[in-house]
C-alpha cells in the first residue's frame, strides 16, 4: 500500500469516527448528554431543611456529579409518596416518620439523612393568646400537617413530657405550607400550630403570632428528614442516586460556608424578613447531616414514633427500609 493510500484510509477511519460521535450526541447518548435526568419531589418548598435541593441546582453541584435535577414541589408527605408510588418522581425529600410508607410496602427506601434533630420546628400560638407555656396546651386544638405526620408526633411528645394523654388534643390538619397554617391561626380555627419556628418569629414581628417554644425544648435527637429513592431508580440507575447524594452534601457544605447567599436564597422561598432568616440559619444549620448517615440515636425515636402514632403495632426493623450504600465513601 502506498503512503498516499495509507493516508486516505486513515482519513476515512477518522471521518467515520467523528460521524459516529456526532450521531451519538444527536441521539442523546454521547458526552453532551451524559448526565442522568432525575425528578426530585419536595414535600415542602418553604422548608429550610430542603434548601440544598434548589441551591444545589443553582450552583450546579448535581450537574457536576452527573445528574440533571428537576425539582417538583408536592406540598405534603402523602402527595410525595403517592408520586413515588406512581413513578412520577425518582427521589423525594420527606420526614423521617415517612419511612412508614416503605414499611407499608411503598417501593422506596431511605438513602440519606438530611437533618438529625427537629431544630426546624416549634409550636406557634396567636400573638394575644393566653397560652404562655407548653403546660397550657392541654386539651387544645393543635394544627398539624396531616395525621401520622412528624408534626403530630411532635405534639404527642409535648403530651408525653407533660404526662398527658396525647389524644386529649384535638388535631386539625392544615397542610405543610405556611399560608393555610396562618389562616387557621388568624381565624381561631386552632389554638396552636406545630410548624417551622421561623414562622413564629416572623409572625411576632407582625404581631400576628409568636413562637411558644422551639422543639428542642421537648425533643432530643430525631431523624427529622431524609432523602428517599424509588426502587426503580435504584435498580435502573444507582449512579444517579450516588450523584444526587454527593451533590446534596456539597450543597449543605456550601450553605455552611455561604451564609449571606443561603439567607438570600431562603428568602425567595419563605419570604421572611432578613432578621428572621438570620435566626433560622443559626438555629437550623447545625441540624444538617454532614455525611448523610443514619445515627442510631436519631433512628431509635423514629421507630418509636410508628407505635406512638398508631401506624404500626410494633417497632419495625429499620435496616430493611434504610441504606447508606449510595453515600460518598461507601462501596
- pLDDT for 29 equals 41
Residue among 102, 53, 67 nearest 269 (CA): 53
Q: Look at residue 212 and tell me if it is in a domain.
A: yes
Is the per-residue pLDDT at 4 higher than 90? no
Q: Are residues 228 and 113 in the same domain?
A: yes
Q: Are residues 39 and 113 in the same domain?
A: yes
C-alpha span between 65 and 242 (Å, rounded): 8
How sure is the predictor about 26, in pLDDT bands with cuts at 50, 70 and 90?
A: very low
Core vs surface per residue 249-274: b (16+ CB within 10 A) or e: bbbbebbeeeeeebbebbeebbebee
**265 bridge partner residues:** none
Q: Look at residue 49 and tell me if it is in a domain.
A: yes
Is the per-residue pLDDT at 10 higher than 80? no
- pLDDT for 46 equals 86
Count the Cβ atoms, other than its own, within 10 Å of residue 206.
Answer: 10
Q: Which domain holds residue 167?
A: 121-217
Is the per-residue pLDDT at 12 higher than 50? no
- pLDDT for 33 equals 57
Q: Look at residue 97 and tell me if it is in a domain.
A: yes
Q: Say if residues 283 and 201 touch (Cβ distance below 8 Å).
A: no
How sure is the predictor about 173, in pLDDT bands with cuts at 50, 70 and 90?
A: very high
Q: Which helix (H) or strand (E) holds 144?
A: strand 141-144
Q: Are residues 151 and 289 in the same domain?
A: no
**pLDDT tens column, 225-282:** 999 999 999 999 999 999 999 999 999 999 999 999 999 999 999 999 999 999 999 9
Q: Region of 95 please: left (phi>0), alpha (psi -120 to 50) or beta.
A: beta
Q: Are residues 253 and 210 in the same domain?
A: no
- Among 163, 191, 217, where does a domain finish? 217
Q: Look at residue 173 and tell me if it is in a domain.
A: yes
Q: Specify the DSSP class assigned to residue 116.
A: S
Q: Are residues 90 and 233 in the same domain?
A: yes
What sign does the CA torsion over 160, 164, 166, 169 have?
negative
Number of domains forming the structure of the chain: 2
Q: What is the mean pLDDT of the chain?
A: 89
Q: Are residues 106 and 248 in the same domain?
A: yes
Q: Are residues 92 and 178 in the same domain?
A: no
Q: Which three cell numbers stand for residue 41?
A: 419531589
**pLDDT tens column, 33-67:** 589 999 999 988 889 999 999 999 999 999 999 99
- pLDDT for 149 equals 87
HSE toward the beta carbon, residue 250, CA cutoff 13 A: 17
Pairing of strands 170-173, 91-95: unpaired
Q: Are residues 56 and 134 in the same domain?
A: no
The full DSSP string for 262-280 is HHHHHHHHH---HHHHHHH
Q: Look at residue 46 and tell me if it is in a domain.
A: yes
Q: What is the mean pLDDT of residues 117-132?
A: 95
Q: Look at residue 28 and tell me if it is in a domain.
A: no
- pLDDT for 1 equals 52
Q: Look at residue 22 and tell me if it is in a domain.
A: no
Q: Are residues 80 and 226 in the same domain?
A: yes
Length of the chain: 331
In 59-163, alpha helices (H): 61-64, 77-86, 99-103, 150-162
Is the per-residue pLDDT at 162 higher than 70? yes
**pLDDT tens column, 58-110:** 999 999 999 999 999 998 888 999 999 999 999 999 999 999 999 999 999 99
Q: Are residues 206 and 242 in the same domain?
A: no
**pLDDT tens column, 191-217:** 999 999 999 999 999 999 999 999 989
Cα-Cα end-to-end distance for the chain: 52
The CATH number that applies at residue 191 is 3.40.190.10
SS3 call for 283: helix
Q: Look at residue 246 and tell me if it is in a domain.
A: yes
Amino acid at each position: 500500500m502506498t503512503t498516499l493510500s495509507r493516508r486516505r484510509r486513515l482519513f476515512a477511519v477518522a471521518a467515520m469516527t467523528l460521524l459516529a460521535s456526532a450521531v451519538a450526541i444527536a441521539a442523546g447518548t454521547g458526552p453532551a448528554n451524559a448526565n442522568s435526568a432525575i425528578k426530585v419531589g419536595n414535600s415542602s418548598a418553604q422548608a429550610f431543611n430542603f434548601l440544598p435541593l434548589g441551591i444545589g441546582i443553582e450552583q450546579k453541584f448535581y450537574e457536576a456529579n452527573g445528574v440533571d435535577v428537576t425539582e417538583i414541589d408536592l406540598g405534603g408527605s402523602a402527595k410525595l409518596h403517592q408520586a413515588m408510588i406512581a413513578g412520577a418522581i425518582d427521589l423525594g425529600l420527606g420526614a423521617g416518620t415517612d419511612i412508614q410508607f416503605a414499611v407499608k410496602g411503598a417501593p422506596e427506601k431511605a438513602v440519606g439523612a438530611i437533618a438529625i434533630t427537629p431544630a426546624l420546628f416549634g409550636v406557634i400560638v396567636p400573638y394575644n393568646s393566653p397560652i404562655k407555656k407548653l403546660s397550657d396546651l392541654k386539651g387544645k386544638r393543635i394544627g398539624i400537617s396531616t395525621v401520622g405526620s412528624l408534626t403530630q408526633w411532635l405534639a404527642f411528645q409535648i403530651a408525653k413530657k407533660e404526662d398527658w394523654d396525647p389524644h386529649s388534643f384535638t388535631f386539625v390538619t392544615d397542610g405543610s405550607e405556611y399560608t393555610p397554617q396562618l389562616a387557621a391561626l388568624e381565624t381561631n380555627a386552632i389554638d396552636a400550630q406545630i410548624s417551622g419556628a421561623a414562622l413564629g418569629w416572623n409572625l411576632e414581628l407582625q404581631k400576628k403570632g409568636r413562637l411558644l417554644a422551639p422543639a428542642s425544648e421537648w425533643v432530643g435527637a430525631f431523624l427529622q428528614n431524609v432523602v428517599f429513592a424509588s426502587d426503580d431508580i435504584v435498580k435502573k440507575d444507582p449512579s444517579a442516586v450516588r450523584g444526587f447524594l454527593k451533590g446534596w452534601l456539597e450543597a449543605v457544605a456550601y450553605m455552611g460556608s455561604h451564609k449571606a447567599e443561603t439567607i438570600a436564597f431562603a428568602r425567595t422561598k419563605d419570604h421572611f424578613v432578613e432578621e428572621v432568616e438570620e435566626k433560622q440559619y443559626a438555629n437550623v444549620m447545625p441540624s444538617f447531616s454532614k455525611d448523610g448517615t443514619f445515627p442510631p440515636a436519631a433512628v431509635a425515636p423514629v421507630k418509636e414514633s410508628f407505635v406512638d402514632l398508631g401506624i404500626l403495632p410494633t417497632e419495625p426493623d429499620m435496616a430493611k427500609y434504610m441504606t447508606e450504600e449510595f453515600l460518598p465513601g461507601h462501596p
